[in-house]
């Protein structure tokens, strides 16, 4: 027994070797500089020469292959139609893959919510790596990391966009970034402020039907494409949370989007128009219904180069939401899903929460084939380890892998990431166990059974179930969402309530409408029920709520214990940094449970 322990410790010491700070992400291959690589000189050749452990590798361009980005690996030969395909193949070979592969989504785009002053909206890993200035070597590492997981586009600035983004001096920076990203197959896009013609151009209006406005955008697009010839296009948040938009001039979303689409079309660019709107045209309506109410009438009216980009859930990146019914209701307009990699509502960069299971859950309801692309709100900042929490890197990784292949299993992605990030540690199973349980644990200690948006105001971190501020829109107040009183709890979205269930296709419409068939993990999203409502296992609703809050906390206690066991097998720095955050997560989980049960408990039995 003693000898076994000694062997394990020696092995661990050999594996750990040197301090790790997480800066190398999952790209921790040893530089071997050993392979003789034949074929075109390109990124694939560079990467294989440096990191491939075999004696030789062949890169073959095959014009007969159909997909521009796909590849076939057999032995140490990679075949692809383009150098980009060879590059994806090279990273796959380094991961140990073989066989044929091509990306499912054509558009696999990161959305950075970075501001020109270096701050990042909902960023929890330091400052922007792009603005106001950047380190070219760091951007190259960013490009490599993204290319290695198949990401092929990036929006460089916040959707709450400054008109200054389009000023010449910033476009010149965009060009420099684009030049670094291009060899890695990544196109740049920008978020634009709809009122840029006023804020930047000095016009008196931004009305999309105004000839002067149309001319301004056409000229701006010409200028952009002169500077960045392969520029991807614009992402637009319009008439949402105070942002300007066509609605300011009584114009529809399609009129606004089409004006931009016409300006950019001659250059081959696209417009990603977000459907995240509330409190504008349909003020007063249940917030989760408003996107459908607002966009349905526009379906079929958008230009071909407009894509509607919608969040996975109808509210706002909550730990659990039903899928957003806009994906059912929009039939004629191409759609993209927007996922949030940065954990705004899931403990930010302090909680270990692996998001792939949540995204896979979404794909169970929204067929990936209904989408032309996928966007992920990035969790990247200038922190040494890029994402704040070492395990948050897994969410960036998983986003890329799912964008390439949405049917990949969460476990498979996690196992891959663990191996690449920590090496083979003998604790793979333990790490996998923590990751795979982490999202459900988070749901349980924050908002089980379909509860939602009971966060502290503004920063969305801790619990504030009693949150109500008279001067705030009701849709920002926790009490609006849980509706707890002495009679019960939950938001009635059935036909007898806000009727949000009617926006869903069958069978979900009927299933969600009836508490007997509504999945229990969404019960209080769709129903207002008495505290003594009987759950399927015979417990009352209140008992079940207590059970779930407790089980969420117990899970985190378990993660902490498991992490202690991992100590000998993980390098000192990463182990310690994760441990610190996990202790914090445990404190937070207990706080969530205690605050919520105390508050809700105050109604029970009254
Ligand atoms: C970029 C939520 C976030 C905002 C974000 C907005 C959006 O409301 O809290 O920070 O703004 O979503 O997605 O536009």
pLDDT digits (tens, 9 = 90+) for 427-479: 999 999 999 999 999 999 999 999 999 999 989 999 999 999 999 988 889 99
Reading the block at residue 117, the tokens are 């002053």
At 355, the pLDDT band (50, 70, 90 cuts) reads very high
The ligand 1 atom nearest the CA atom of 338: 13
Reading the block at residue 511, the tokens are 């299933």
Handedness of CA 400, 405, 407, 411 (dihedral sign): negative
- Residues, the chain: 606
* Count of other CB atoms within 10 angstroms of residue 560: 15
User: Do the Cβ atoms of 307 and 335 come closer than 8 Å?
Assistant: yes
- What pTM does this model have? 0.96
Reading the block at residue 190, the tokens are 């920008």
Mean pLDDT (the chain) is 95
Is residue 276 within 6 Å of ligand 1 at its C-beta? yes
- Report the pLDDT value the prediction gives residue 19, as an integer from 0 to 100: 63
Give the mean model confidence (pLDDT) for residues 263-274. Answer: 98
What residues does 100 pair with on adjacent strands? 72
User: Do the Cβ atoms of 553 and 445 come closer than 8 Å?
Assistant: yes
Is residue 493 within 6 Å of ligand 1 at its C-beta? no
What residues does 374 pair with on adjacent strands? 108, 337
- Report the pLDDT value the prediction gives residue 3, as an integer from 0 to 100: 38
| CA dist., res. 495 & res. 12, Å (int) | 59
- Report the pLDDT value the prediction gives residue 312, as an integer from 0 to 100: 98
CA dihedral 215, 216, 221, 222 (to 10 degrees): 70
Which residues, 6 or more positions from 430, have their beta carbon under 8 angstroms from its beta carbon? 562, 565, 566
- Report the pLDDT value the prediction gives residue 475, as an integer from 0 to 100: 87
Alpha helices in 483-571 (DSSP H): 508-513, 523-526, 541-566
Q: Which residue's C-alpha comes closest to atom 12 of ligand 1? A: 316
Residue 55 clears pLDDT 90, i.e. is over it = yes
Which residues, 6 or more positions from 355, have their beta carbon under 8 angstroms from its beta carbon? 339, 341, 343, 346, 395, 398, 399, 439
At 6, the pLDDT band (50, 70, 90 cuts) reads very low
Is residue 287 within 6 Å of ligand 1 at its C-beta? no
pLDDT more than 70, % of the chain: 97
pLDDT more than 90, % of the chain: 94
- Report the pLDDT value the prediction gives residue 606, as an integer from 0 to 100: 63
Helix (H, G, I), strand (E, B) or coil at 337: strand
> 193 alpha carbon to ligand 1 midpoint, in Å?
15
| CA dist., res. 317 & res. 395, Å (int) | 14
Which residues, 6 or more positions from 166, have their beta carbon under 8 angstroms from its beta carbon? 190, 192, 196, 200, 220, 224
Is residue 159 within 6 Å of ligand 1 at its C-beta? yes
Element holding 49 (H helix, E strand): helix 43-51
Reading the block at residue 235, the tokens are 């992402």
Alpha helices in 270-366 (DSSP H): 290-295, 326-329, 356-365
Query: DSSP state, 151?
Result: -
> 433 alpha carbon to ligand 1 midpoint, in Å?
31
Catalytic positions: 241, 316, 344
Selection from 5-14, 315-324, 418-427 with the highest mean pLDDT: 315-324
Q: In the chain, how long is the greatest CA-to-CA distance?
A: 82
Reading the block at residue 59, the tokens are 């890169």
The residue written with tokens 């806009």 in the block is 326
Radius of gyration of the chain (CA): 25
- Most informative mutation of 241, 338, 452, 473 for ligand 1 (most atoms within 8 A of CB): 241
Which residues, 6 or more positions from 547, have their beta carbon under 8 angstroms from its beta carbon? 539
Give the mean model confidence (pLDDT) for residues 68-93. Answer: 98
The ligand 1 atom nearest the CA atom of 122: 10
Q: What angle do CA 441, 442, 447 make, to 5 degrees?
A: 110
- Report the pLDDT value the prediction gives residue 127, as an integer from 0 to 100: 98
Share in percent of the chain as helix, strand, coil (round to 5) = 45, 10, 45
At 205, the pLDDT band (50, 70, 90 cuts) reads very high
Residue 15 clears pLDDT 60, i.e. is over it = no
Assign residue 121 a region: left if phi > 0, alpha if psi is -120 to 50, beta otherwise?
beta
Is residue 453 within 6 Å of ligand 1 at its C-beta? no
What residues does 190 pair with on adjacent strands? 234
> 344 alpha carbon to ligand 1 midpoint, in Å?
9
More confident residue, 210 or 9: 210
| CA dist., res. 324 & res. 309, Å (int) | 11
Give the mean model confidence (pLDDT) for residues 327-343. Answer: 98
Residue 13 clears pLDDT 90, i.e. is over it = no
Is residue 289 within 6 Å of ligand 1 at its C-beta? no
What residues does 236 pair with on adjacent strands? 192, 273
Query: DSSP state, 587?
Result: H
Handedness of CA 83, 334, 328, 443 (dihedral sign): positive
User: Do the Cβ atoms of 17 and 425 come closer than 8 Å?
Assistant: no
Residue 353 clears pLDDT 50, i.e. is over it = yes
């Amino acid at each position: 027994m003693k000898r076994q322990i000694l062997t394990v410790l020696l092995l661990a010491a050999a594996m750990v070797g040197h301090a790790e700070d997480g800066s190398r992400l999952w790209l921790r291959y040893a530089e071997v500089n050993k392979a003789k690589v034949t074929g075109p000189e390109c990124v694939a050749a560079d990467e294989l020469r440096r990191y491939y452990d075999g004696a030789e590798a062949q890169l073959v361009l095959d014009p007969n292959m159909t997909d521009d980005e796909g590849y076939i690996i057999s032995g140490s030969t990679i075949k692809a139609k383009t150098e980009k395909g060879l590059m994806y193949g090279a990273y796959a070979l380094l991961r140990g893959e073989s066989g044929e592969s091509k990306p499912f989504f054509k558009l696999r785009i990161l959305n950075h919510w970075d501001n020109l002053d270096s701050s990042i909206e909902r960023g929890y890993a330091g400052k922007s790596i792009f603005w106001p200035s950047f380190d070219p070597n760091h951007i190259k590492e960013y490009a490599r990391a993204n290319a290695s997981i198949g990401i092929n586009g990036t929006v460089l600035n916040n959707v709450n966009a400054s008109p200054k983004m389009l000023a010449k001096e910033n476009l010149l920076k965009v060009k420099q970034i684009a030049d670094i990203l291009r060899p890695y197959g990544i196109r740049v896009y920008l978020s634009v402020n709809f009122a840029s013609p006023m804020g930047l151009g000095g016009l008196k209006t931004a009305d999309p039907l105004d000839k002067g406005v149309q001319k301004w955008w056409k000229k701006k697009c010409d200028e952009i494409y002169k500077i960045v010839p392969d520029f991807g296009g614009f992402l637009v948040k319009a008439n949402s949370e105070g942002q300007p938009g066509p609605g300011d001039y009584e114009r529809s979303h399609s009129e606004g989007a089409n004006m931009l689409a016409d300006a950019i079309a001659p250059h081959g660019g696209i417009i990603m128009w977000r459907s995240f709107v509330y409190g504008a045209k349909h003020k007063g309506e249940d917030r989760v219904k408003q996107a459908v109410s607002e966009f349905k009438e526009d379906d079929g009216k958008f230009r071909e180069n407009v894509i509607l980009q919608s969040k996975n859930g109808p509210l706002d990146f909550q730990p659990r939401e039903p899928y957003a019914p806009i994906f059912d209701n929009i039939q004629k307009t191409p759609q993209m899903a927007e996922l949030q990699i940065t954990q705004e509502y899931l403990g930010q960069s302090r909680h270990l929460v692996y998001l792939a299971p949540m995204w896979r859950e979404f794909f169970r309801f929204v067929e990936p084939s209904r989408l032309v692309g996928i966007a992920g709100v990035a969790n990247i900042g200038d922190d040494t380890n890029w994402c704040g929490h070492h395990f948050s890197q897994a969410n960036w990784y998983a986003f890329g892998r799912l964008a390439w292949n949405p049917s990949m299993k969460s476990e498979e992605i996690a196992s891959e990431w663990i191996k690449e990030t920590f090496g083979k540690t003998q604790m793979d199973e333990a790490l996998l166990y923590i990751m795979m349980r982490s999202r459900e644990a988070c749901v349980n200690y924050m908002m089980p059974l379909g509860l939602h948006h009971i966060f502290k105001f503004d920063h969305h971190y801790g619990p504030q179930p009693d949150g109500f501020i008279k001067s705030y829109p009701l849709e920002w107040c926790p009490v609006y969402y849980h509706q707890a009183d002495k009679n019960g709890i939950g938001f009635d979205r059935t036909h007898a309530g806000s009727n949000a269930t009617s926006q869903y296709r069958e069978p979900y419409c009927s299933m969600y409408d009836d508490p007997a068939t509504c999945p229990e993990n969404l019960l209080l999203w769709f129903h207002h029920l008495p505290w003594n409502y009987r759950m399927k296992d015979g417990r009352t609703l209140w008992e079940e709520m207590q059970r779930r809050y407790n089980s969420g906390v117990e899970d985190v206690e378990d993660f902490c214990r498991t992490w202690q066991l991992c100590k000998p097998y993980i390098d000192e720095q990463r182990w310690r940094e994760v441990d610190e955050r996990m202790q914090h997560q445990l404190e937070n989980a207990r706080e969530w449970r205690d605050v919520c049960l105390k508050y809700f408990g105050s109604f029970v039995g009254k």
